Structure 1
Amino acid sequence: MFAIVIAQLGTYFTKQGSTMNRSITPTFQIPAASFQVFTGLTILASVLLYERALVPLARALTGHPSGITILQRIGTGLVLSMLTMAVAACVEGRRVRIARENGLLDDPKSVVPMAVWWLIPQYMLCGLSDVFTIVGLQELFYEQMPVGMRSIGAAAYITVTGVGSFLSSGLISIVQGISSRCGHEWLGDNINRGNVEYFYWVLAAMSAVNFCGYVCVAKRFVYKRIGHDQGGHSSEKVSY
């Protein structure tokens, strides 16, 4: 489910931006797709902040060597992905409302008088979600896999993103088919007449259900025994 949310970066997030005011000067507009740079910058900044500030603080509070457990890190990312879709839905609702107030619902090629900068929070939240979830998955597949299977584990988390893209396409087709049969397309060609915000809320709800399922599984997960530098071993039986 996390990967389905991330897949929206290159699809409907970009489509949202393409209809908004992207002008910096009278002669220059920011390409809508370039806003993904804010996700990348957020990832770079967050990794540094996480290691320098969050881990020491969490370590002092929890006593855990890593500050928080691997599963807690992944869970935090899943919550952030849910928040990403909620914020995106609110921004899209505002964009459609402004389009309606300016009589632009039937003119999808016109620029909606709403600054494209409104999209930055959802791009940044996507980056934060990525930092917690993807890095957490890397740690999980590396540390908790048998030594001989670590190369497979390294590839496994990458597979998550690819599968998410396919599932996103399938989910879009399902939502479009159901909404069409109900008489109003949510994801039609005219984004102003559609209800992309409803689709975002569906993703947020599905992310919430996914998180609940994740917590149920995480509570039953037992960490494998990891050797320490002193040569001893400890069993980390840590609940989520």
Structure 2
Amino acid sequence: MDESLSHTDAHIPSDSGKRRGGALGGLTLAAGGWISNLIVFLIKEFNINSIDAAQIANVVNGSFSFFPIIGAIIADSFFGSFSVISISSCISLLGIVLLVLTATLNSLKPQPCATGSELCQPTSALQYAVLYTGITVASLGLGGTRYTLATLGANQFDKPKHQASFFNWFFFTLYSITVVALTVIVYIEDNVGFKWGFGLCVIANLIGMAIFFSGNRFYKFDKPHGSPFVGLGRVIVASVRKTSLQLSSERKDYYYGHDGVTHDGVTNKVAAATLSKSFRFLNRAAQKIEGDMKSDGSIAKPWSLCTTQQVEDFKTVIRIFPLWSTALFLATPIAIQSSMSVLQALTMDRHIGPHFKLPSSSVIVIVLFSTSIFLTLIDRFLCPMWQKFTGQSPSPLQRVGVGHMLTILSMAVSAVMESKRLKIVQEHHLQDQPGTIVPMSIFWLFPQLVLVGIGEAFHFPGQVALYYQEFPMSLRSTSTAMISLIIGIAYYVSTGVVNVVQRVTGWLPNNLNNGKLDNVYWMLAVLGVINFGYYLVCTKLYKYQNVKGAEGSPDPDS
């Protein structure tokens, strides 16, 4: 490995990492504090039915996760990571302030009503408008901070090994701080008031912003050079325009860049990229014909001719898409389980000891807690042991595969647990008594949540490391936000799945005690097995492009 890379990594100021971690912690605490208890907030403060509240929360979680891809594209294309994070953290603050107002001012929320009662005051159009505006603005703000912070952090390192370790600790910070949000802030919201919990979110956001801005002089900044997606689009257009062109086998017939600089002024570090044989029809985009070039050797028609590097970048995105799609079907069951676990917890005995009652939304903390623990174990023990016995670190695809298996197991355990809960419901004749607590401890939910948390410790960092290392350099911010895009789409898909199940089967009535949620979990387990088979096929066909040592050649410095 190049000594200059080691030198770069070794001299990154430690204060830079601390500030990025502190900023991530503050902004994560702010976001987690309001979204983690959103279902309960909608039920208690806005008189929304439980399944409807869960569906709204899924849509919000989807947006919450989808917006980072927009922030990443803007960072890659126009402003860079630092500027996007700065602006987005201010937007996030504004959204949370609006949520504080909805929780504080009586004119912005309906009068409360008893659980299960049909005589509730309807929510006005103005109240809904302020509520959804606050949620939307807060979600947009998060979109430009969370995974863009991951890119800014990873950009401080040059070695893939150090970048992979950074992503482990990024997720450790993300999950451990969310644990605090799900326990401390959610407890305050449930027992003191939502206005106080949301107020703490405002303070956390301000602290995160202050820490982030204080580290300005320590950061290594990325420089955007225009939208990389325009270049990818040109590959499609140029290859279509030259459909009838006979492919040449001569290297001189292809455009590799003009003196190391592409037509848009971006320095092309790999100007002499060799065109691969896969997806050969795209190679026409880089093949020169009469009229494509100016006299000085630059491109005359940008939408008719691309550099070989742009063609290979587009091929990389195509190659990785099947793997990305398997992650989508992996995240969808997790999204459904997340919202349904909160609804299950509302029906169960949540007392832990004689005096403490666990907030229903805090049950998800078990996922985060188990993920945080196993992220540490994986980074400090499992990966070194794997490298000791095999001579190489576990590849990103191997880690994701383990995550698939654990998620399937979690769905099966969820189905067994829910069958037990429904059996107790029937024994005590509670089917038609909404709001009545089932004599079953919330501890029964913990095993399934622990399993899905361990699975996330394997597959989420594995996916981020894979995308970051495999995506073209021009798409670095976009690559780290791909996992957020997966989660966002998964929440939307989960909403659609729940709607279909409600209409077709009747397994999910508003009163879960009258439903068959266990059948939903069994369905998700079966779909998970099918998706895992699809994943194995994709991994068998996929060839690493940029990860040294990923497929059997030891490279401890990579």
TM-score tier (shorter): 0.7 to 0.9
What percentage of residue pairs aligned between the two structures are identical? 33
Aligned positions of 1:76-155 closer than 5 A: 76-155=402-481
**Counterpart check, 1:47 vs 2:368:** no
> Which residue does the alignment assign to 1:230?
none
Please report the RMSD computed on the Cα atoms of aligned residues, expressed in angstroms. Answer: 1.8
Q: Contact 1:224–1:236 (CA<8 Å) still a contact in 2?
A: no
Shift of 1:115: 0.5
Cα distance change of structure 1 residues 172 and 122 upon mapping to structure 2, 3 Å threshold: same
Distance in 2 between residues matched to 1:116 and 1:152, nearest whole Å: 39
Q: CA deviation at 1:11?
A: 1.2
Aligned partner of 1:156 in structure 2 is 482
Residue 226 to residue 168, structure 1, CA distance change in 2 (3 Å) = closer
Relative distance call for 1:178 and 1:226 in structure 2 (3 A) is closer
**8 Å contact from structure 2 (residues 402, 458) kept in 1:** yes
- Is 1:57 matched with 2:378? no
Are positions 1:192 and 2:513 aligned together?
A: yes
Match of residue 342 from structure 2: 14
Residue 236 (structure 1) shift:
3.8
Aligned to 1:231: none
- Conserved 8 A contact 2:395-2:550: no
- 1:84-105 CA-to-partner distances (Å, cap 9, x unmatched) read 1111111100000011111112
Q: How many residues align?
A: 225
| Residue from 367, 388, 400 that aligns with 1:74 | 400
2-side partners of 1:129 and 1:235: how far apart? 21
**Distance in 2 of aligned mates of 1:153 and 1:81:** 23
The separation in 2 between residues aligned to 1:126 and 1:168, in whole angstroms, is: 16
Does the aligned pair in 1 maintain the 2:348–2:441 contact within 8 Å?
Answer: yes
Aligned equivalents of 1:21, 1:97: Cα separation in 2: 15
State the distance in 2 between where 1:205 and 1:226 align.
32
Tell me how far apart the structure 2 counterparts of residues 145 and 52 of structure 1 sit (CA, whole Å). Answer: 27
Residue identity in the other structure for 1:196:
L
Q: Which amino acid counterpart does residue 187 of structure 1 have in structure 2?
A: L
Equivalent position SS for 2:513: coil
Question: What letter is aligned with 1:116?
Answer: I
Per-residue CA deviations over 1:61-83 (Å, capped at 9, x if unaligned) read 3222x1x2111111111111111
The alpha carbon displacement at 1:25 in A equals: 5.0
Aligned equivalent of 2:362 = 34
Structure 2: gaps (5+ residues)? 1-328, 554-558
- For residues 34-76 of structure 1, the C-alpha deviation after alignment (integer angstroms, 9 at most, x for no partner) is 1111111111111111112111222233222x1x211111111
2:536 to 215, 230, 234: 215
Q: Is the 8 A contact 1:223 1:237 kept in 2?
A: no
Matched, 1:203 2:524: yes
Shift of residue 26 of structure 1? 5.2
Cα–Cα, structure 1 residues 25 and 53, in superposed 2: closer, same or farther, change >3 Å? closer
Which is worse superposed, 16-25 or 88-97?
16-25
Q: Taking structure 2 as the reference length, what is the TM-score of the superposition?
A: 0.39
- What stretches of structure 1 of length at least 5 have no aligned partner? 180-184, 228-233
- Paired amino acid for 1:132: F
Q: Distance in 2 between matches of 1:49 and 1:201?
A: 30
Given the superposition, is the C-alpha separation of residues 27 and 55 from structure 1 closer, same or farther in structure 2, using an over 3 Å criterion?
closer
Q: Which amino acid aligns with 1:190?
A: N
- Partner Cα distance (2:518, 2:337) in 1: 15
Larger Rg over CA atoms: 2
The one-letter code sitting in structure 2 at the alignment partner of 1:91 is M
- CA distance 1:55–1:25, shift in 2 (3 Å): closer
Q: CA deviation at 1:138?
A: 0.4
Q: Does 1:224 align with 2:555?
A: no
Deviation at 1:226, TM superposition (A): 4.4
Alpha-carbon distance between aligned partners in 1 of 2:483 and 2:417, rounded to the nearest angstrom: 30
> Equivalent residue of 1:148, what SS?
helix
Paired residue secondary structure (1:11): helix
Q: Secondary structure at the match of 1:114?
A: strand
Q: Return the offset for 1:136.
A: 0.8
Distance 1:26 1:44, change over 3 A: closer
Structure 2 Cα separation of the partners of residues 2 and 33 of structure 1: 22
How far is the alpha carbon of 1:221 from its aligned partner?
A: 0.6
